[in-house]
């Protein structure tokens, strides 16, 4: 039996690992029976079983209800001949609650490059969708309201103090909470998950459980972004029609928020075409290492932004014919400072409201893959994003050779 068949670790699991594992094996066998006359491979079924089991585990409050729900699931899979849209857990249909739950059991039916290209092109966002989601699609005239204050001052992204940007490298004390507060209905106050402090607390810790010697800011308007460096358009570079998945890591610098690592992966071969730590233009304020995974930038070895740009904007990498794949790619394109209009964005593809699904959750739901446990890794993220798109159009993430 394949190695994929193990229950997903959960913080609150209704039953021990051993017992969940046993039930998971039963579920897999049941799925084999139900889908015996279909093209689904054992790998597909292992993934489906893993995903169904974790769904039930997450939706069962006790070991008792988990066992009960699983017995219903085992029974109904055969009863409805594998039609999962008819199966209910806790009275709720599987379909709808988690739309990606079993959408990828259909991989492997696209095997030619031309078919894949056709499917990919259907996912490219139109200009309206790009603009609505914060993409900068063309050179804009200077914004009218670019008053002096906005140029001189910025609110700190962490503590909200309005500070003079020019003084950013001078030491000060920024006290903040690294995680966003959430509302607690019982206590009727906001609580910070990082430390448990509430907004009602009398302790000075409510102001923040972490301190840093500088404030940080992030300019997001076109003008503010241009102040770091100008945008380049891909329009002027004619090159191969490639499909590239990309992801950046960012850090706070004296100029705002800048790219410090970029990974570009080829969609068809899965090969990494570019992966470098990059020197930002401004002075480093905070590398955000816990998050970015970048711990130091060697100014003697790492390419500068301009050097990196000269490499990644080229006939064989990002050019006007490239289809770029990313998750919340507007953030990446904005820190790369490029205009590009052929974009597939998994954050838009999989989100129904303005609250976008995280790549971490998406990778877990669609690929049964755990990423971003701790530091982020742009290489891991670019590959996960690419694989989510592959699954979306019915390609196995394992496929690396293609018929034309």
Q: Shortest gap between Cβ of 228 and Zn ion (angstroms)?
A: 20
Torsion sign (Cα): 264, 270, 273, 278: positive
Q: Shortest gap between Cβ of 284 and Zn ion (angstroms)?
A: 16
Phi and psi at residue 292, in whole multiples of 5°?
-80, -20
385 CB contacts (<8 Å, ≥6 apart)?
A: 245, 247, 325, 326, 327, 346, 359
What is residue 403's DSSP assignment? B
Looking at beta carbons only, is 171 or 354 nearer to Zn ion?
A: 171
Q: Shortest gap between Cβ of 220 and Zn ion (angstroms)?
A: 17
Cβ atoms 31, 51 nearer than 8 A: no
What is residue 14's DSSP assignment? S
Looking at beta carbons only, is 285 or 294 nearer to Zn ion?
A: 285
Q: Shortest gap between Cβ of 170 and Zn ion (angstroms)?
A: 13
Three-point CA angle 99, 103, 106, nearest 5°: 170
Q: Shortest gap between Cβ of 349 and Zn ion (angstroms)?
A: 33
Mapped onto helix, strand or coil, the DSSP state of residue 292 is helix
Q: Which of residues 277-296 bind Zn ion (CB under 5 A)?
A: none
Looking at beta carbons only, is 174 or 309 nearer to Zn ion?
A: 174
Q: Which of residues 150-209 bind Zn ion (CB under 5 A)?
A: 156, 158-159, 174, 177, 192, 194-195, 209
Distance from C-alpha of 244 to C-alpha of 300, rounded to nearest angstrom: 29
Looking at beta carbons only, is 78 or 173 nearer to Zn ion?
A: 173
Partner residues linked to 92 by β-bridges = 89
Q: Which of residues 229-288 bind Zn ion (CB under 5 A)?
A: none
**Quick one: which H or E segment has residue 336?**
helix 329-336
User: Euclidean distance between the first and final Cα of the chain, in Å?
Assistant: 34
What is residue 167's DSSP assignment? G
Interface with Zn ion (CB under 5 A), residue from 40, 55, 215, 390:
215
Looking at beta carbons only, is 286 or 341 nearer to Zn ion?
A: 286
Looking at beta carbons only, is 140 or 207 nearer to Zn ion?
A: 207
| Site size toward Zn ion, by CB under 5 A | 10
Q: Shortest gap between Cβ of 296 and Zn ion (angstroms)?
A: 23
Residue ranges binding Zn ion (CB under 5 A): 156, 158-159, 174, 177, 192, 194-195, 209, 215
């Amino acid at each position: 039996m394949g190695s994929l068949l193990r229950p997903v670790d959960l913080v609150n699991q209704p039953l021990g690992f051993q017992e969940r594992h046993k039930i998971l094996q039963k579920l897999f066998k049941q799925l084999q029976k139900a889908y015996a006359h279909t093209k689904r491979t054992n790998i597909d079924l292992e993934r489906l079983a893993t995903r169904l089991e974790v769904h039930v585990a997450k939706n069962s409050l006790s070991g008792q209800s988990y066992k009960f729900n699983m017995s219903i699931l085992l029974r109904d899979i055969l009863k409805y001949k594998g039609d999962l849209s008819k199966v209910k857990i806790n009275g709720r249909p599987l379909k709808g609650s988690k739309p990606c739950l079993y959408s990828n059991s259909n991989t492997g039916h696209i095997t030619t490059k031309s078919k894949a290209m056709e499917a990919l092109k259907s996912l490219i966002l139109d200009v309206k969708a790009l603009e609505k989601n914060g993409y900068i699609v063309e050179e804009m005239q200077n914004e009218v309201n670019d008053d002096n204050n906005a140029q001189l001052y910025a609110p700190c992204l962490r503590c909200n103090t309005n500070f003079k940007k020019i003084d950013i490298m001078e030491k000060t004390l920024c006290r903040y909470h690294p995680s966003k507060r959430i509302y607690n209905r019982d206590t009727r106050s906001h609580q910070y998950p990082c430390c448990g402090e509430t907004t009602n607390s009398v302790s000075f810790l409510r102001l923040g459980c972490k301190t840093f010697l500088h404030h940080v800011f992030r300019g997001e308007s076109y003008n503010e972004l241009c102040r770091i460096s100008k945008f380049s358009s891909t329009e002027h570079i004619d090159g191969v029609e490639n499909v590239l998945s990309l992801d950046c890591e960012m850090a706070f610098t004296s100029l705002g928020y800048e790219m410090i690592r970029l990974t570009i992966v080829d969609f068809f071969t899965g090969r990494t075409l570019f992966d470098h730590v990059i020197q930002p233009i401004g002075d480093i304020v905070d590398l955000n290492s816990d998050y970015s995974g970048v711990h130091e930038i060697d100014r003697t070895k790492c390419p500068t932004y301009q050097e990196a740009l000269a490499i990644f904007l080229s006939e064989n990498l990002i050019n006007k014919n490239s289809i770029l794949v990313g998750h919340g790619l507007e953030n990446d394109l904005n820190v790369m400072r490029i205009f590009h209009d052929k974009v597939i964005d998994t954050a838009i593809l999989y989100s129904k409201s303005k609250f976008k699904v995280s790549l971490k959750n998406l990778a877990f739901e669609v690929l049964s893959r755990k990423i971003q446990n701790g530091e982020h890794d742009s290489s891991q993220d670019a590959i996960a994003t690419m694989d989510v798109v592959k699954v979306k159009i019915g390609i196995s993430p394992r496929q690396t050779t293609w018929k034309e």
